[in-house]
Structure 1
Amino acid sequence: MRIRNADFDDAAAVAAIYGPIVEHTTISFELEVPSVDEMRSRIAKTLPALPWLVAEDEEGRVCGYVYAGKHRERAAYQWAVDTSAYVREDMRGQGIGRRLYEALLRRLAELGYYQAFAGIALPNAGSVGLHEAVGFKPLGVYRNVGFKKGAWHDVGWWQRELRPLDAPPSEPSKHLDG
């Protein structure tokens, strides 16, 4: 398996991984499956500032992805990110999510970020296990915050410190490898 920066040509593979999750589960709170063009747009908006990584299997096919996004808009939040990871259904349970997350968290620390957050629609034992395996700690739960597939769902929040806290911190670098 190889981990690399995503590019625009990965949009179809990313959409193919994410689409069934949106359509058939409550893991994502999106109600409509994003198109390939929408996924290309999301990659394009992310890469100038933050990492979006993909994993390729032995045949060069994208088998998972992970990315970071701005945590909140206010300037004082600039050292924090939200993270997401998805693995192709036939490749789950093989350590791909963990390797992707380890690469992402290392890159975020190098760029100058201090905190990473992950929101997980509950129940989702696989995602909880993945996040805790890479050092995320539970923070709390937004109860009944999303309505999908005829029911209300909770979202648990996890946090991981990326580097020791400095005061005052330097402004984070942009992700220039995108």
Structure 2
Amino acid sequence: MTDASTRPVTLRAGTRADIPALTAIYNHYVEHTVVTFDTTPFTPAEREAGWFVHYAPAGRHRLLVAETSGDVVGYATSSPHRPKAAYETSVETTIYLHPDATGRGIGRILYAELLDSLQTEDVHRALAGVALPNDASTALHERLGFTALGTFREVGRKFGRYVDVRWFERPIG
């Protein structure tokens, strides 16, 4: 990947053709960080069948991709918060960037676009969990209008240590 800081960012709905690049980005975080609590890398086929299939270009559950010069450099999603019907107007949001694309403002642009796109949908609340410590993600959520709700202490265990998760919320619409 070349320097993303000097290239314009294009945002678009994710497609099946993006699955290999999106899987590679996600697997970096699976293998090297506590950002996700998945512990085993995925194949593109597994990501398509168990993850990609519930996203649509419009509606509450979206997959938005960022690319620079044709390279996929990140993605943001809005997914069901919980499977019960009363939760349907709440979504859980997340964002992942290629490690070479962090710290350049791409995440802010991508995440803000996802949140803006939800304004026209029947979405009332966006929720996000941030594994701690993660100062960059905490700052991003706060800059985009999320408020910290509380911290689940030692709720996950990865790489032989327990990890806290801070939950954030943001009104939509």
Runs (5+) with no aligned partner, structure 1: 164-178
Could you tell me which residue of structure 1 aligns to residue 137 of structure 2? Answer: 127
Matches of 1:78 and 1:44 in 2, distance apart? 18
Secondary structure, aligned partner of 2:123? coil
Could you tell me which residue of structure 1 aligns to residue 12 of structure 2? Answer: 4
Runs (5+) with no aligned partner, structure 2: 1-8
* Equivalent residues of 1:3, 1:56 under 8 A apart: yes
* Equivalent residues of 1:3, 1:100 under 8 A apart: yes
Percent identity at matched positions? 40
The TM-score normalised by the length of structure 2 is 0.90
Could you tell me which residue of structure 1 aligns to residue 116 of structure 2? Answer: 106
Q: Is 1:56 aligned to 2:67, yes or no? A: yes
Higher relative contact order (CA 8 A, sep 6+): 1
Q: How does 1:14-53 map to 2 (within 5 A)?
A: 14-41=22-49, 42-47=51-56, 50-53=61-64
Could you tell me which residue of structure 2 aligns to residue 167 of structure 1? Answer: none
Per-residue CA shift, 1:81-123, capped at 9, x if unaligned? Answer: 0011001111101111111111111111211201000001111
Per-residue CA shift, 1:115-166, capped at 9, x if unaligned? Answer: 0000011111111111111111100011110011001111100000012xxx
Secondary structure, aligned partner of 1:147? strand
Could you tell me which residue of structure 2 aligns to residue 116 of structure 1? Answer: 126
Quote how far apart the aligned CAs of 1:33 are.
0.8
Where does structure 1 differ by over 3 angstroms across 4 or more consecutive aligned residues? none
Aligned length: 162
CA RMSD across the alignment? 1.1
Structure 1 counterpart of 2:45, one-letter code: D
Quote how far apart the aligned CAs of 1:68 are.
0.7
Structure 2 counterpart of 1:27, one-letter code: V
